[in-house]
C-alpha cells in the first residue's frame, strides 16, 4: 500500500462561487435564486445570476439594456458610503459617483465566512480571489484511502494491483463519462470528489451559497475544470483525459495566457490551442521566450503544473482612494471625502486588528492636483489602537494638509486623494492588555463608542474586491520577463520531462510593484486599493480588481489612460477612467512605501491580477472563526466616543 501511494499525485480542488455577489444579495434580501437578479455599480452590471443570464443579460450590459432583456429582473446596487455614513449602506435613491463611494464590504465579509469553511475543511488552502480558492486535499485524500483500505480486506492488496474506482456520484467527468476505472490516481480524484461535495454542501448548509468545483492533479487543471459546468456542479479531470482536453483547449483559457502573453505566443508561433504547442521542443520554446517561460509553456500546454497551493500572505498596507469629479476646491469638501475614506479604513482596520492582532504605525496622505504628473504625499503617525476613532484618519490628514510642507498645502483644486496605512506592528507586548481592555468594555448601543470585545473576523489579506476588472488587453511587460527569476519548481510526479523551473512561481511582470492574484482579489472597489504583491500566481480570471480595466468594447474610446501604454487602457466613460486612475494612485503610493518611488505603476496585465485594497506580504493570513459583532464608531458618535478616548494630539475639524 505504501509503495502504491508513492505512485500517486497531488490532488487539488478549485472552488468558485456561482454568481457570487448575486448570491450574497439573494441571501440578504431573501429573494429566491430563480428570480433573475443583477448587481449593479452605478449604471453597469458587475454580477448577473444564472436566471438573468438565461434571459440574455451579460455582465457588460448596462442597466437599461438589461431591463429591456428581462423586465422582471431585480437590480441591486452595491452598498455605498454617502455623506455621513460611517458604514456602507444599501442606498437605492440618488446614487451617484459624485456623491457616493462604493463599498464591497458585504462581499468581503461573505468571502471571509466562505474561506473560513474552506480552511476548516482543508488547512492547505489558498484564497485565489474574493470567491474562489484552491484546496490541496492530498493529505486528507491519502489518509481516507489508507483508513478505508486498512478497514477492508484490501490491505492485503498486492502493491502492483490497481484499485477499482466507481465514478457514480462523483460529478461530471471531463471526456468519456466512464462509470468505472482503475488506478491510484483515479482513486485519489474520486475521494477528492467526495470531499469536495462535502465542502460544497457545508457552504450551502451554513451560508446558502452554491459553488462549483474542479478536481484534478494540479492547480491549472483544477481551475480550468471548475468553470466547465456551472452553476452548482463539480467536474473531475482524470489523468487519462488530460491530453485530449488540453489538445483542443484555446491557449487563452490557460491561466497567465489570457492576455497579451497568450497573444504573444499565438502570434509568434501561429498557434491557437495548447495542443498546437506540442510540436515545439522545450529548447525551441526557451529560445523564443526565455528559459523559464519556455519551460513553463512546454509543461503547461500538456497540463503539467507544479505550482503549490500556498497560504495567503497578509497585507502590508491598506488604502482607500477617490477621484474627485468635479475637482474639489475647499477644505470642507476635502474634509467630507476624507471622512468617507476614513470610515472605510476604520472598518477595515478594526477587522484586520481582530484577525491579525496588529496595528499600523503610519498614515500616508496623497493628493493629486489636476496639472501635476504625480501626486504629493505626506506621512504622520496613526493613533494607537485604543485611541483610534472613525474620524482619526480624516483629522490627521487634514492636519497634514494644513501644515504645509511640500508646497501642496494651499493648492486647489484637488483631483484625487488617497489615504494609506502601513507599517503594521504586532501588538505583541500590549496584546493582552489591549485585548483585555476591550473585553472589559461593557457593550453599549451608544453610537461612536469603540467596543471591540467581539470583532468580526476579517479576511487576512483584506482588500476590496474588484469592480470592473477586465484586464487591460495589453500588458506592459513581455512574456519573457514574466517568469524570469522563478524559483525552481517542486518535484513532480506527473511525468513531466522538463527540468526547468516552474514559471508560475514568479511574480507577474506587469507591475513591477505588485500584483499577485491575491492582491487582485483582495482588491475591491476601484477606488479602494491597497497595493502589494502577494501570491505569486497570476491568474487570468482572478484579476479582480486592482486596476479597473478597460471595457473591451471601448478600445477606441476617448477615455484613455494617460499613464498606461498608448492604446492599452481605454474606458467607456470618465467614471471608469477615474476609477482606473485611483488605482494608479494607490499603486504609486504603495510603490513609494516600498521605496520604489512614487511613479505610477502599470496596471495589472491580464494575467497578473493585482489588486486590492489591501496589499500584502510577509505573513500568513488565516481566516479565523467569527468572534462576534462589534460596534463601529460612527461620526455622530465620535463626540461621545471621545469621552472615553482622549482627543487626538493634533488634527482639525471643519
Ligand atoms: P466571478 O467569479 O468572475 O463571476 P461570478 O461569481 O459572478 O459568476 P460565475 O458563476 O461565472 O463565477 O467574479 C466574482 C465576483 O466578482 C462577481 O460576482 C462580481 C465581481 N466581479 C466584478 O465586480 N467585476 C468583474 O469584472 C468580475 C469578472 C467580477
Ligand atoms: Ca464565481
Ligand atoms: Ca471567481
**pLDDT at 59 (0 to 100):** 93
For the chain, helix, strand, coil in percent to 5 are 35, 20, 45
Q: What is the pLDDT of residues 92-111, one digit of tens each?
A: 889 988 889 888 889 988 99
335 and 375 share one domain: yes
68 and 171 share one domain: no
Q: pTM, whole model, 2 decimals? A: 0.63
- Domain assignment of residue 35, given as a range: 19-106
User: Which residue would you say has higher pLDDT here, 121 or 314?
Assistant: 121
Q: Cell match 477492508: residue?
A: 152
Answer whether 131 contacts ligand 1 (Cβ < 6 A): yes
- Of 106, 123, 145, the last residue of a domain is 106
User: Is the model's pLDDT at 168 over the cut of 90?
Assistant: yes
Q: Is residue 536 part of a domain?
A: no
Q: Side by side, which strands form the sheet with 172-173?
A: 125-129, 132-136, 12-17, 211-216, 234-236, 172-173
Answer whether 542 contacts ligand 1 (Cβ < 6 A): no
User: Which residue would you say has higher pLDDT here, 377 or 47?
Assistant: 47
Q: Is residue 85 part of a domain?
A: yes
182 and 155 share one domain: yes
Which of 19, 232, 545, 547 to mutate to test ligand 1, by most ligand atoms within 8 A of the CB atom?
A: 19
Q: What percent of the chain has pLDDT over 70?
A: 63
Q: How far apart are CA 112 and CA 109, in angstroms?
A: 5
- Of 106, 134, 167, the last residue of a domain is 106
Q: Is residue 310 part of a domain?
A: no
Is residue 261 a contact partner of residue 479, using CB atoms and an 8 Å limit? yes
Q: How much distance in Å is there from the Cα of 350 to the middle of ligand 1?
A: 27
User: Is the model's pLDDT at 336 over the cut of 70?
Assistant: yes
350 and 460 share one domain: no
Answer whether 16 contacts ligand 1 (Cβ < 6 A): yes
25 and 169 share one domain: no
Q: Cell match 497585507: residue?
A: 315
415 and 443 share one domain: no
User: Which residue would you say has higher pLDDT here, 286 or 588?
Assistant: 286
- Of 106, 127, 157, the last residue of a domain is 106
Q: Is residue 643 part of a domain?
A: no
Q: What is the pLDDT of residues 379-436, one digit of tens each?
A: 999 999 888 888 999 999 999 888 865 555 568 999 999 999 999 998 864 433 332 2
Is residue 180 a contact partner of residue 165, using CB atoms and an 8 Å limit? yes
Among residues 479, 446, 351, which one has the least CA distance to residue 637? 446
Domain harbouring 43, CATH code = 3.40.1170.60
**How many structural domains is the chain composed of?**
4
Q: What is the pLDDT of residues 234-258, one digit of tens each?
A: 999 999 999 999 999 999 999 889 8
Q: Whose CA is nearest to atom 29 of ligand 1?
A: 46
Q: What is the pLDDT of residues 606-653, one digit of tens each?
A: 222 222 233 433 334 333 333 333 334 333 333 333 332 222 222 222
348 and 214 share one domain: no
Is residue 498 a contact partner of residue 286, using CB atoms and an 8 Å limit? no
User: Is the model's pLDDT at 307 over the cut of 80?
Assistant: yes
586 and 569 share one domain: yes
Q: How far apart are CA 264 and CA 346, in angstroms?
A: 43
User: Is the model's pLDDT at 151 over the cut of 60?
Assistant: yes
User: Is the model's pLDDT at 155 over the cut of 80?
Assistant: no
Q: Cell match 489570457: residue?
A: 258
Q: Is residue 100 part of a domain?
A: yes
Q: Report the greatest alpha carbon distance in the chain.
A: 83
φ/ψ of 17, rounded to 5, equals -70, 150
Answer whether 540 contacts ligand 1 (Cβ < 6 A): no
User: Is the model's pLDDT at 115 over the cut of 80?
Assistant: yes
262 and 145 share one domain: yes
Question: Counting ligands in written order, which one lies closest to the CA of residue 229?
Answer: 1
Domain harbouring 205, CATH code = 3.30.70.270
Q: Is residue 370 part of a domain?
A: yes
CA end-to-end span of the chain: 74
Q: Is residue 524 part of a domain?
A: no
For range 320-330, the mean pLDDT: 91
222 and 246 share one domain: yes
334 and 384 share one domain: yes
Q: Is residue 653 part of a domain?
A: no
9 and 42 share one domain: no
Domain harbouring 339, CATH code = 3.30.1490.100
Q: How far apart are CA 478 and CA 385, in angstroms?
A: 44
Is residue 360 a contact partner of residue 436, using CB atoms and an 8 Å limit? no
Amino acid at each position: 500500500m505504501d509503495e502504491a501511494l508513492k505512485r500517486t499525485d497531488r490532488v487539488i480542488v478549485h472552488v468558485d462561487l456561482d454568481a457570487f455577489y448575486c448570491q450574497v444579495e439573494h441571501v440578504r434580501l431573501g429573494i429566491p435564486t430563480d428570480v433573475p437578479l443583477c448587481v449593479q455599480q452605478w449604471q453597469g452590471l458587475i454580477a448577473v445570476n444564472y436566471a438573468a443570464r438565461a434571459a440574455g443579460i451579460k455582465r457588460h450590459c448596462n442597466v437599461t439594456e438589461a431591463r429591456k432583456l428581462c423586465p422582471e429582473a431585480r437590480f441591486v446596487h452595491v452598498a455605498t458610503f454617502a455623506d455621513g455614513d460611517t458604514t456602507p449602506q444599501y442606498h437605492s435613491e440618488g446614487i451617484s459617483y459624485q456623491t457616493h463611494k462604493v463599498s464591497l464590504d458585504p462581499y468581503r465579509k461573505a468571502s471571509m465566512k466562505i474561506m473560513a469553511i474552506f480552511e476548516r475543511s482543508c488547512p492547505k488552502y489558498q484564497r485565489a480571489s474574493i470567491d474562489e480558492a484552491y484546496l490541496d486535499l492530498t493529505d486528507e485524500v491519502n489518509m481516507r484511502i489508507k483508513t478505508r483500505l486498512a478497514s477492508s480486506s484490501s490491505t492485503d492488496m498486492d502493491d502492483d494491483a490497481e484499485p477499482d474506482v466507481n465514478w457514480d456520484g462523483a460529478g461530471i467527468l471531463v471526456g468519456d463519462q466512464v462509470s468505472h476505472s482503475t488506478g491510484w490516481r483515479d482513486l485519489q480524484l474520486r475521494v477528492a470528489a467526495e470531499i469536495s461535495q462535502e465542502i460544497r454542501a457545508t457552504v450551502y448548509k451554513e451560508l446558502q451559497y452554491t459553488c462549483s468545483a474542479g478536481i484534478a492533479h494540479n492547480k491549472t487543471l483544477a481551475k480550468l475544470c471548475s468553470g466547465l459546468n456551472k452553476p452548482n456542479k463539480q467536474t473531475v479531470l482524470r489523468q487519462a483525459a488530460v491530453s485530449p482536453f488540453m489538445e483542443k483547449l484555446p491557449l487563452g483559457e490557460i491561466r497567465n495566457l489570457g492576455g497579451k502573453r497568450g497573444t504573444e505566443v499565438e502570434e509568434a508561433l501561429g498557434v491557437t490551442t495548447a495542443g498546437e504547442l506540442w510540436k515545439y521542443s522545450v529548447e525551441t520554446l526557451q529560445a523564443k521566450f526565455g528559459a523559464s517561460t519556455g519551460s513553463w509553456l512546454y509543461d503547461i500546454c500538456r497540463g503539467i503544473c507544479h505550482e503549490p497551493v500556498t497560504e495567503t500572505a497578509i497585507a502590508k498596507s491598506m488604502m482607500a482612494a477617490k477621484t474627485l469629479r468635479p475637482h474639489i476646491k475647499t477644505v470642507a469638501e476635502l474634509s467630507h471625502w476624507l471622512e468617507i475614506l476614513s470610515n472605510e479604513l476604520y472598518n477595515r482596520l478594526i477587522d484586520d486588528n481582530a484577525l491579525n492582532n496588529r496595528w499600523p504605525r503610519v498614515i500616508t496622505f496623497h493628493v493629486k492636483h489636476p496639472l501635476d504628473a504625480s501626486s504629493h504625499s505626506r506621512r504622520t503617525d496613526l493613533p494607537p489602537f485604543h485611541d483610534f476613532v472613525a474620524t482619526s484618519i480624516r483629522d490627521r490628514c487634514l492636519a497634514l494638509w494644513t501644515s504645509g510642507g511640500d508646497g501642496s498645502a494651499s493648492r486647489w483644486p484637488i483631483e484625487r486623494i488617497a489615504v494609506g496605512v502601513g507599517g503594521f506592528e504586532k501588538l505583541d507586548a500590549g496584546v493582552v492588555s489591549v485585548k483585555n481592555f476591550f473585553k472589559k468594555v461593557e457593550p453599549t448601543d451608544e453610537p461612536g463608542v469603540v467596543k471591540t470585545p467581539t470583532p468580526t473576523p476579517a479576511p487576512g489579506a483584506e482588500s476590496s474586491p474588484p469592480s470592473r476588472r477586465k484586464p487591460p488587453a495589453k500588458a506592459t511587460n513581455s512574456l519573457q520577463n514574466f517568469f524570469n527569476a522563478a524559483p525552481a519548481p517542486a518535484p513532480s510526479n506527473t511525468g513531466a520531462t522538463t527540468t526547468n523551473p516552474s514559471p508560475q512561481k514568479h511574480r507577474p511582470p506587469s507591475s513591477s510593484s505588485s500584483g499577485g492574484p491575491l492582491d487582485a482579489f483582495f482588491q475591491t472597489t476601484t477606488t479602494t486599493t491597497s497595493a502589494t504583491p502577494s501570491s505569486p500566481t497570476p491568474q487570468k480570471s482572478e484579476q479582480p480588481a486592482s486596476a479597473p480595466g478597460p471595457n473591451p468594447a471601448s478600445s477606441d474610446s476617448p477615455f484613455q489612460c494617460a499613464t498606461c501604454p498608448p492604446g492599452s487602457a481605454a474606458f467607456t466613460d470618465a467614471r471608469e477612467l477615474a476609477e482606473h486612475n485611483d488605482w494608479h494612485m494607490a499603486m504609486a503610493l504603495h510603490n513609494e512605501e516600498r521605496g520604489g518611488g512614487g511613479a505610477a505603476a502599470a496596471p495589472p496585465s491580464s494575467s497578473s491580477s493585482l489588486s486590492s485594497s489591501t496589499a500584502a506580504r510577509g505573513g500568513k493570513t488565516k481566516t479565523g472563526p467569527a468572534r462576534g459583532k462589534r460596534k463601529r464608531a460612527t461620526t455622530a458618535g465620535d463626540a461621545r466616543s471621545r469621552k472615553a478616548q482622549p482627543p487626538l494630539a493634533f488634527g482639525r475639524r471643519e
